[in-house]
Amino acid sequence: MDVEPIFLIKRRIRRNKQFDDNPDTKREQQSALENYRTDYFLVLVDMALSQLKIRFEQIEFFESVFGFLFDAAQLISLDDEGLKTCCLKLEKSLTHGDACDIDAKRLLSELQILQEMLPSVAYECEIPWNSLKVLEFVKKMDMFPNILVAYRILLTILLLWHLPNGASQN
């Protein structure tokens, strides 16, 4: 942006030193640029790095729970045992006390049927269907209630994740 970083040098305020004062000579001798670097720039970089770390950890957890539903190619690539493991993990993460949003056994059977019913264009093309397109296909079929719930939760969490001002990201 061709803006020269010019830091004005503040007038040094001299104050009377008491005999028991500890001199902060390093801090007093820093240049305006060094003060900016330590007081603002490094603080902002540290905050950004810690926030990125937290967000990547959240995304990794989210992907470990919902990853098999992200696109049609991932869904088709799972065998029955892998699909069962994913469904059980999803059910466990969507359980609160005695209430659960989905039933893993029913979701498993619905996903097995869906794997057979998905058109080959959904997963064999260069860009496989994303979760929204799979949800639209499932809605048209009108016979997979647990899959509908799972995809609605997935897409709702993604929507909340991308809201401005960090709303509901924890």
CB-side neighbour CA atoms (13 Å) of 23: 8
Please report, for residues 15, 26, 36, 85, 94, the alpha-carbon distance to residue 12 in angstroms, rounded to integers and kept in the order given: 9, 14, 16, 67, 60
pLDDT of residue 82: 94
Q: Is the pLDDT of residue 127 over 80?
A: yes
Nearest to 87 by CA among 97, 101, 98, 99: 101
Nearest to 117 by CA among 109, 125, 105: 109
- Spatial distance between the Cα atoms of 68 and 85, rounded to a whole number of angstroms: 10
Nearest to 129 by CA among 76, 170, 59: 76
* 141 or 31, greater pLDDT: 141
Q: Is the pLDDT of residue 160 over 70?
A: no
- Spatial distance between the Cα atoms of 68 and 143, rounded to a whole number of angstroms: 20
Report helix, strand or coil for 31: coil
**pLDDT tens-digit readout, 71-103:** 899 999 999 999 999 999 999 998 888 888 889
Q: Is the pLDDT of residue 69 over 80?
A: yes
- Spatial distance between the Cα atoms of 106 and 126, rounded to a whole number of angstroms: 31
**pLDDT tens-digit readout, 3-46:** 777 766 666 666 666 766 665 556 556 677 788 888 889 999 99
pTM of the model: 0.66
- Spatial distance between the Cα atoms of 124 and 107, rounded to a whole number of angstroms: 23
What DSSP state is assigned to residue 19? T
- Spatial distance between the Cα atoms of 133 and 69, rounded to a whole number of angstroms: 11
